[in-house]
Amino acid sequence: MSENNNKSIFNGPTGPLIFALTLVVGMMLGRGCDDVSTRQSSVGSRISHILDQIEVLYVDSVDREALVDVAVDAIISELDPHTYYFTKAEVEANAESMDGNFEGIGVEFIIKDDTLMVVSAIEGGPSEQAGVMAGDRIVEVGGVEISGKSLDNKEVMKLLKGERGSLVELGLVRNAPFARYDVVIERDRIPIHSVVASYVLENEVGYIKINRFSATTAIEFEKAMYDLALKNVSSVIIDLRANGGGYLNQAIDMISLFLNEGEEILYTEGNAVARKDYVSRVDGLYKYLPLAIIIDENSASASEIFAGAMQDNDRALILGRRSFGKGLVQEEYDVPDAGALRLTIARFYTPSGRAIQKPYGKEVDYAHDAIDRFDSGELYFEDSVKVADTVVFRTSLGRPVYGGGGITPDIFIPLKRTGEFRALAELVWIGVFRDEAFTWVDAHRGTLPENFSESSPVWKDETKGGKAAMKRVVEKLGLVWPDNSSEEGEEEIERIMSRFYAQVIRIMNGENSFYRALYEGDEAIERALYELLEEERFGIQKGRLYLLLENETNQSDSISQTLNIH
């Protein structure tokens, strides 16, 4: 239920009764009872009786379903921040993104100038097979013309998505050369990839970017690792920045690729749930491969489990900033004809015993945590990083680690101060880079060379190139283009153009090329490369990470004995 609906119900004529109903529900849930089924029957009977009386006798008409929704929301608000009730529509939308596929025609689109434009036809999807190309305008669906100011994303999704095997006729216009043509497309399953980039960096170091843990992530990850192995990589960087998590079993399958049989991955435990240990069941195929993992303040849940298991087993170097701190186990229960309840039943603990979950409760403003981190300077200065748990935990080789609020990295990488660059910050906030990149590419279709780069004449052209186009966009939006006479202004222009160029590359060449361009010179990746290759602070033997201690002459021997290396 939306915030507005909540307010109208509480503030309207039914307000006092809703408040009373909520109190009754709360009291009934708080009472102890040995017989769970009896308690459920009693609670259900009382709530139903109260609602019956309200519905029949109350002075004004009421919406019974709305009353139930408010009562449910009130109950859930008394629990932890991650227990949640989903409506049927929310359940369906969430399942689609986490299942790793949806059913439709397989295009990425934008709506620009009241027209539906194809940004790309998804590789291997039905639109690509039907000949649909980036830059095509979809002007008709099923014989009905679509355009105008009323066209929005919701309407487009409704028109294009549908059951696998169903047919839809599209009318398209292609600008270069100009032509109108019609195609009939059979809808199919369209993959939603969670491993969005995989390529080789310098010195045979592989790079993998994962944006969530969906139902297909482990399979995608194994394929990416196999492809990198075929290219003879000597080590791998796994990027989990802004990865909000997902399915636990996917993270476990991935972690197992890097551990010995029997090594602990994590354990869970709750008030009504006995401790359950998760260990690697096989010797991982890549158990000796040196690893670095990058996390940030938006890496949560399964991302933290992955990073925590690798850190506690001294299996990878963790770089970045302290992760989000979401370490609660949820189980989803269907609510017949209404939606689903995602209920917290236990907590996650890393192999060393660290709790990942950050503090919550009546004394804690949980939703304000991101702002608190920003205000405290934690995102910019390592000495400002705070952990809730002062207990020192130890990795398998004795390195100190801390719990009680996310995973603290081994090497701190500060956040870039985008806020100091006003034009860049506002462009990021408005979200114009992708749309304007499409417009630029669309205007130059047929003239862009195959080896297009930032040094290409078409990109550097003073009137039609990338910088000229972006400057016009900034000025059209009423923003101020940075002054290039100062060092700070030059830096801001460089960062604006770097983002713009990456989006242009994405539209031309896909996700892999996008991330390679976006992260060119990225501080976290550069530091990970340095640590993996130089081994000045950390050493790696047989895939195990250890601190290089000063003035310890027998370091190598002691580590060899610990790891049983011969």
Angle at 381 between CA 370 and CA 408, to 5 degrees: 65
Strand, helix or coil at 205? strand
Instruction: Read off the amino acid at residue 536.
Output: E
Strand, helix or coil at 65? helix
Active-site entry in 312, 314, 369, 410 = 312
Contact 403, 356 (CB under 8 A): yes
563 HSE (CA, 13 A, CB side)? 23
State the first-to-last Cα distance of the chain, in angstroms, to the nearest integer.
63
**Cα distance between residue 212 and residue 252, in whole Å:** 14
Beta bridge partners of 87: 339
Tokens of 162: 């549908």
Dihedral sign of CA atoms 13, 15, 21, 24 in order: negative
Torsion angle (degrees, nearest 10) of CA 301, 305, 311, 314: -170
Strand, helix or coil at 193? coil
Active-site entry in 127, 301, 303, 323 = 301
Contact 151, 137 (CB under 8 A): no
Is position 369 annotated as part of the catalytic site? Answer: no
Beta bridge partners of 546: 539
As a residue count, the chain comes to 566
Listed residue (276, 284, 268, 264) closest to 351, CA to CA: 264
Contact 60, 13 (CB under 8 A): yes
Question: Which contacts of 54-57 are long-range, i.e. CB under 8 A and separated by 24 or more positions?
Answer: 54/14, 54/17, 54/21
Contact 306, 244 (CB under 8 A): no
Active-site entry in 326, 352, 358, 410 = 326
Instruction: Read off the amino acid at residue 410.
Output: D
Contact 563, 544 (CB under 8 A): yes
CA Rg value for the chain: 27
Instruction: Count Cβ atoms below 10 Å from residue 550 Cβ, excluding itself.
Output: 6
Q: Helices (H) and strands (E) in the chain — how many of each?
A: 19, 23
Sequence-ordered alpha helix ranges (H) in 257-325: 302-312
Is position 301 annotated as part of the catalytic site? Answer: yes
| SS3 of the chain: helix, strand, coil, percent, to 5 | 40, 20, 40
Judging by DSSP bridges, how do beta strands 235-239 and 205-210 pair with one another? Answer: parallel
**Cα distance between residue 165 and residue 188, in whole Å:** 6
Contact 433, 499 (CB under 8 A): yes
Tokens of 103: 């059913």
**Cα distance between residue 386 and residue 439, in whole Å:** 44
Is position 256 annotated as part of the catalytic site? Answer: no
Dihedral sign of CA atoms 99, 105, 111, 112 in order: positive
User: Catalytic residues, which ones?
Assistant: 301, 312, 326
